[in-house]
Amino acid sequence: MKHQGRHRIQEFLAFLSREHAQVKPDKTVTLAVISGSSVLAFTRISESGASAVSSLARLFT
What confidence score (pLDDT) does residue 28 get? 54
**Would you say the pTM of this structure is higher than 0.85?**
no
Q: How many CB atoms lie within 10 A of CB 16?
A: 19
pLDDT in tens, 23-59: 554 555 555 555 555 544 555 666 666 677 677 667 6
Q: How far apart are CA 39 and CA 14, in angstroms?
A: 17
